[in-house]
A = this chain, B = another copy of it.
Amino acid sequence: MAKEVVLAIDIGGSLTKIGLVNRNGNILGKRVFKTNGQDPFNNFLEKLNAEIEILITSLDSTHKLISIGIGAPNANSLTGNIENPPNLKWGLLTPISKVIGEMLKLPVVLANDANAAALGEMKFGTAKGMKNFVVLTLGTGLGSGIISDGRLLVGQHALAGEIGHTNVDPNGRQCNCGLRGCLETYASVTGIRRTVFELIAEMSEDSPLREISFDNMTGVHISDAALAGDPIALKAFDKTGEILGGKMADIAAHLDPEAIILSGGLSKAGDILLNPIKQFMELRLFNAYRGKIKVLISTTTSSDAILGPAALAWSAFEKGTP
């Protein structure tokens, strides 16, 4: 009997990752290429097609490709479309599921990238065996995926899990979405960078961070400075932890999860982020939840991003949809 594999496609703002993944989450082959989201969708499609060709050719005849899972920003699992993402200039609606399904003559499942990541954590990652948890991806923005009773929480319009746009302060920082004070303007790589610049203006201590421009500053600069004891970087992590920890107490008050799992660039800072988060989350938790909600850092790395869409494809296949 042929060994079944799925094709997983993770479309990111800068990189697209594709891979062949078996039922156990083993990656049998992988390709990474630039999304070039400023170019027309057809250019992306040609490149994707060529890369898939290379992957599939590498499979020996004992394997059989059975379906495709796609994770993408602003993807709608109900319609199969990518809907006007800020970082991809592909227009209002990209019927990605339809196009790729017809190209490869295989069933396609699509989900928002953070929702796919949550499924990936449950099937192959840090949340193995868990039935109620939330994944927060702390990257350029803050994405979120919610698993409730072992199922992805999708919502009425397939738009659930936009926790990055819950409000911290109605008069707060300007967000790309048009609102002010969204959580992701504080708790993300971009958010902590904004906090560092606020603190550089406010504090007078020396800091290596004063030598780096806003555009050049990365999350690694900030966590390296914090690990070396830089007071501005340390305070930036404290402030980020206070804001994120407080909102995680609110998440708990909605969903009562077993764990909240942090992934993405900022999560790699480890304890300097985790400690203030845990401290402030516990402080703000409703008493019934205290001591009951785990805060974990995902063990998956960015190169595992295809495990999200792979889990999506496998889950649908096992349920018989599509």
Q: Does A246 contact B (CB under 8 A)?
A: yes
- A151 to chain B minimum Cβ distance, whole angstroms, is 7
- B162-A253 in contact (CB<8A): yes
- A160-B256 in contact (CB<8A): yes
Oligomer copy total: 2
Q: Residues of B contacting A284 with CB < 8 Å? A: 167, 170, 179
Kindly state the separation between the CA atoms of A302 and B170 in the bound complex, as whole angstroms. Answer: 35
Q: Residues of B contacting A182 with CB < 8 Å? A: 286
- B246-A167 in contact (CB<8A): yes
A286-B156 contact given A161-B254, A246-B170, A254-B251, CB 8 Å threshold: no
Q: Residues of B contacting A307 with CB < 8 Å? A: none
Kindly state the separation between the CA atoms of A284 and B149 in the bound complex, as whole angstroms. Answer: 29
A254-B255 contact given A149-B151, A162-B286, A177-B286, CB 8 Å threshold: yes
Q: Residues of B contacting A165 with CB < 8 Å? A: 253, 286
Q: Does A14 contact B (CB under 8 A)?
A: no
Closest to A131 in B: B156
- A253-B163 in contact (CB<8A): yes
Stretch from A25-33, A101-109, A118-126, A287-295 contacting the other chain: A287-295
Interface residues of A (CB under 8 A from B): 83, 131-132, 146, 148-149, 151, 153-167, 170, 177-179, 182, 246, 249-251, 253-258, 284, 286-289, 292
A/B interface sample: 12 pairs, CB < 8 A: A83-B288, A131-B156, A149-B154, A153-B153, A154-B256, A155-B257, A156-B258, A161-B256, A162-B286, A167-B249, A179-B286, A254-B254
